[in-house]
Chain A
Amino acid sequence: MKRRFRISLLAAGTALALAACSSSGGKQETTDTNNAGTADTPRMTVAFITHSGPGDTFWDLVRKGAEDAAKKDNVELQYQADPDGPGQANLVQSAVDKKVDGIAVTLAKPDAMKANVTKAVQAGVPVVALNGGIDAWQAMGVQGYFGQDERIAGRAAGQKLAADGGKKALCVIHEQGNVGLEARCDGAKDTFPNISKIYVTGTDMPGVQAAITSKLQQDKAIDRVLALGAPFALAAVQSVKDASSSAKVATFDTNKELVGAIKSGSVMWAVDQQPYLQGYLAVDSLWLYKTNGNTIGGGQATLTGPAFIDSGNVAAIEQYANNGKR
């Protein structure tokens, strides 16, 4: 009885699978459009060490930029990440132990990173910083910095919220205790004072959505939601619908789905710090230093943002987003 049931289940499943191909959507062939040629300089090794948590769409873009630059520059890229400060610092030490030719590192937790980064510089390994630590990198002897000043980016977002006619905004922090995210909200507050913060757990999407919904229900005056990451903006769009609110959603950072949302008008705009560029420039700058002694930025931070993606320029960016690089 049991066996016959199993067999019929299997047969039904197979028949269903054969008859059940989707006529639309699904996996499409993507072409790699990045054919900038490759360098024939000697092979060098770069350790790329970030504070990314696993499975984050933003850091995926950074990594792709780094990988593309590494391919072009004949660099062997060793990508590593640890969201825990001391753990990330230890990865820097292990890179020095391995005698790599360069280190690209994020300094989101500068106090934890300081000792080991300084040690790496003293050991003669060229180090560049990206994404986080704009106030801290020079003091550690790091050669260059690629990223945006989160406070400046926040200010730009606040200005744009005001220009769009917003009266009261909600800033959604998806990682409690992250200095960069706080700086974004604080920057937005500089130029758009009527903004309040809400903390949500970024690894729990239904929770994020319910929390934003409840806040919109509590405070009907909120007419703008500022998310700090693309997936959270998409959840916020759902929340606005659930709360029958008229609030409009804007965000920091993008991914493929978010670019689609801007195109369809459900998200107003995104502050773009160009994560792909951060990864790319960090690796490329180490290669330039090694082969030609150059330093990009000449001792100053190289800002990769804030740029804006809105309905005006989204069409131009869409094709790159479809390749998973914006």
Chain B
Amino acid sequence: MTTVTELAAQDDRVASRPLAARLLSRPEVGSLVAAIVIFLLFMAVAAPFRNVANIGTILYGASTIGIMAVPVALLMIGGEFDLSAGVAVTTAGLSGSLLAWNFGLNVWVGVLLSLVLAVAIGAFNGWLLLRTGLPSFLVTLGTFFILQGVNLGVTRLATGNVASADISDMDGFASAHAVFGSEVSLGPVNLKITVLYWVLLTIIAAYVLLRTRIGNWIFAVGGDAAAARAVGVPVRSTKVGLFMAVGFCAWLSGMHLLFQFNTVQSGEGVGKEFIFIIAAVIGGCLLTGGYGSVVGASIGALIFGMTQLGINYAGWNPDWFRTFLGVMLLLATIVNLYVKRRADLR
């Protein structure tokens, strides 16, 4: 069904609508408006926010969320969500470190083994979901707890401590650090490599979603899986593929965690899954699937980054930090909803 609508996007039914309405009905517009408002607010009240050199810090904060928000948004458009995404990042970082350290391997071997593991976790989530027909909430909640326990238990078994050992003196660390934890200076701005990955992921995912057949499949399985199957969309591989994409990005984030800090604390990552989901929701993804945008999710991550650091830059009383963040998030989503409704009315 949705594939047909997508094809119809070229015909006169849409072409007759005014440009403004067409723009406004894009899912990411609400978040873009919110982002601009928040940006202007902090530009006005926080002097360091206006300092060009500090852009790198804001983008870094946003990128660590954005790298995960992109695949999480794709997954949500595909009608599922992943509660294990936050601890999966920690699992990826830990496994890379522990495998290399415990067996005295080159760091890169640990990095690759951890990639296999992270993608396998995603595939397991997708496989179990389709095999059992359980909601993704339950399946990934189970994985979430399993991973949390495994993170702790395996780390203690391997190292006798609850954090992974320092691997910065091992072979291959320097080159792996260059790939996952380096930074470049563009004039006064120091950009961490995660920002590059974030932008790349956003571009690739947006292209896949909007310009390829796979993108149509994602919308279709999220909108109505049964109808999608009826018109020949490979529902199973699409969903499993989406979970594997989350696994891949969890690996990328986990590698950054590892090579930025040299060690990984095994209890980390809990609660991050909600941040990723919230970024996607701000960006226009519906909790019910079938609608949303990758660019929007990245803007959602940017809103998070700006708000988090903007409060510091403004020097406001940090007691109210969470409250402020909550208000910002609600406002962003309400603006999003309002703009979408107005646009749909026309």
Which residue from chain B places its CB closest to the CB of A54 in the assembled complex? B267
| Stretch in B105-113, B120-128, B203-211 with 4+ CB within 8 Å of A | B105-113
Mask, A7-50, CB within 8 Å of B = 1, is 00000010011001111111100100000000000000000000
Given contacts A201-B271, A203-B268, contact A27 B322 (CB under 8 A): no
Contact assessment for B54 and A324 in the assembled complex, using a CB-CB cutoff below 8 Å = no
Contact assessment for A207 and B64 in the assembled complex, using a CB-CB cutoff below 8 Å = yes
Contact assessment for B105 and A203 in the assembled complex, using a CB-CB cutoff below 8 Å = no
Contact assessment for B61 and A206 in the assembled complex, using a CB-CB cutoff below 8 Å = yes
Contact of B267 among A55, A214, A242, A255 (CB under 8 A): A55
Given contacts A24-B169, A26-B170, A217-B54, contact A206 B106 (CB under 8 A): no
A205 within 8 A of B: yes
B160 within 8 A of A: yes
Which residue from chain A places its CB closest to the CB of B262 in the assembled complex? A257
Contacts of B166 in A (CB 8 A): 256-257, 260
Mask, B253-273, CB within 8 Å of A = 1, is 000110011110111111110
Interface size class of A (residues with CB under 8 A): 35 or more
Mask, A206-235, CB within 8 Å of B = 1, is 110111011101110000000000010011
Contact assessment for B100 and A26 in the assembled complex, using a CB-CB cutoff below 8 Å = yes
Contacts of A256 in B (CB 8 A): 161, 166
Size of chain B's interface in residues, with CB distance under 8 A?
68
Contact of A213 among B57, B108, B152, B158 (CB under 8 A): B57
A294 within 8 A of B: no
Contacts of A21 in B (CB 8 A): 103-106, 171
Contacts of B163 in A (CB 8 A): 55, 57, 231, 255, 257
10 closest residue pairs by CB, A with B: A55-B267, A25-B170, A26-B104, A20-B106, A210-B61, A55-B266, A214-B309, A22-B171, A25-B169, A206-B64
A-B contact pairs, 27 of them (CB 8 A): A13-B112, A17-B109, A22-B172, A25-B170, A26-B105, A27-B103, A30-B160, A57-B161, A57-B265, A176-B322, A199-B321, A204-B272, A206-B60, A206-B64, A207-B61, A207-B308, A210-B309, A211-B309, A213-B57, A213-B60, A214-B312, A217-B313, A218-B312, A231-B163, A238-B260, A257-B163, A324-B160
What 18 additional pairs, Cβ within 8 angstroms, besides A24-B169, A57-B162, A207-B308? A20-B109, A21-B106, A22-B100, A22-B172, A27-B102, A54-B148, A56-B265, A56-B267, A57-B163, A199-B318, A203-B271, A205-B257, A210-B57, A214-B54, A214-B57, A214-B309, A218-B314, A218-B315
